[in-house]
Structure 1
């Protein structure tokens, strides 16, 4: 399942450096997990698939942050990688044979021009078996901290469809990014194991039991910069937490 980093950065998917003040989603790749492994039953139920209802193809990943709310990357829904008005559903479950589809008529894009979006669902998504994940408050952990990427993207660079099973990739190493309001994760094994097409919007999962008593999300996966191909880029949770809270409260 492994591929070299160079094999998974075709020109059409490479993003260019962008300003610290705002994201440039049109220049970002729509990132899947190559070299990862399927999640176990009951793991990461807060991670969902965004699936096109026309061809049933998974195009991005999301994370449940409230009873009716899913967090994802803006470029998944703003017309960058697919038509803006193309129909989609949010699907729960650890594979495509279980879980449930949820529809939405409302999408909210971050007002600070970060590559972040909120989906408001038409019915409650949380249950005894499907939970939400809290976002980390305040600054991210120190560089060198290990975390896990979780997503619905490709499992081989030759695939044309997303994974049949939700995948996880452990032991990414937290690192600083070129952009403000971003964090980066260094891929394990020199990039032989990495994120890929379809993982955009997924969480950086960190065990923070001392404060939250559970897992937390450090941010939203948005891409890989050509200047640092051994790293994956996330918008930091503390950069949009206030916007998220206000949007969920008012809408």
Structure 2
């Protein structure tokens, strides 16, 4: 089964720019959020990632000046909206002044601090067969839909912690329980026991998703963002 990059909405017309060199061809163009699952009423740690002013990916705020997302989301002039479940309004917005990347993870430094509730980052892999939660504003169907305006969530089951993300880093693979990730969910979090264990990287749009491992990249995150 082919695993495709969770391309952003802004990337639909320029697929080659944001696809990792080793990635499979993209699915049909069009914006896609979590397919299935349900909406979220509160997520102060959520970050909608914007490229040149347009929504492109999902992410999380991990410290006052740092947002974690996917490397393949980084393009053009970046900014974020933090603390709102609505990607078009509410919360606070900040421009991004610098970006550091490792495998398919990206750390974006904000122009000024944001005071909110930050995610807890895990230093361990989730157990195989564990039930995890994923979040994002991606497409709600395989093709022909627009991105979800309100943050969505779904539950998935971990099947491996030793696959690769779009840039060859270690990743966590999961399969659908009541929903799955798709375009626009890139960079969004996977949680196990209240801590973020993964960053959305690739998916097949129907069942499987690979999330770049936070534990695998934990020392790098600390060296860059201090958390």
Smaller-chain TM-score bracket: 0.7 to 0.9
Instruction: Give yes or no for the alignment of 1:182 onto 2:174.
Output: no
C-alpha offsets along residues 107-151 of structure 1, whole Å, 9 cap, x if unaligned?
1112xxx1111000011123xxx311111113x132111011100
Instruction: Give yes or no for the alignment of 1:220 onto 2:199.
Output: yes
For residues 150 and 212 of structure 2, what CA distance do their matches in structure 1 show?
25
Instruction: Give yes or no for the alignment of 1:87 onto 2:77.
Output: yes
Aligned to 1:80: none
2:127 to 142, 152, 164: 142
Indicate the structure (1 or 2) with the bigger Cα radius of gyration.
1
In the superposition, the TM-score normalised over structure 2's length comes to: 0.79
C-alpha offsets along residues 23-81 of structure 1, whole Å, 9 cap, x if unaligned?
x83426697201121101x3x32121112344x3x21111111110001110111xxxx
2:163, 2:170 within 8 Å by CA — same for their partners in 1?
no
In the TM superposition, residue 88 of structure 1 has moved relative to its aligned partner by 2.9
Aligned to 2:92: 100
1:59, 1:162 within 8 Å by CA — same for their partners in 2?
no
Aligned to 1:131: 117
Aligned to 1:212: none
For residues 4 and 133 of structure 2, what CA distance do their matches in structure 1 show?
23
Poorly superposed stretches of 4+, deviation over 4 Å: 28-31
What is the aligned-residue RMSD (CA, Å)?
A: 2.6
Aligned length: 201
1:201 to 183, 187, 192: 187
In the superposition, the TM-score normalised over structure 1's length comes to: 0.72
For residues 31 and 101 of structure 1, what CA distance do their matches in structure 2 show?
23
More helix by share: 1
SS of equivalent residue, structure 1 residue 244: helix
2:101 to 95, 109, 117: 109
For residues 101 and 224 of structure 2, what CA distance do their matches in structure 1 show?
10
C-alpha offsets along residues 224-250 of structure 1, whole Å, 9 cap, x if unaligned?
269xx632101111111101111124x
Aligned to 1:19: none
**Which stretches in structure 2 are left out of the alignment for 5+ residues?**
6-18
More strand by share: 2
1:135, 1:219 within 8 Å by CA — same for their partners in 2?
no
Instruction: Give yes or no for the alignment of 1:25 onto 2:24.
Output: no
Instruction: Give yes or no for the alignment of 1:231 onto 2:208.
Output: yes
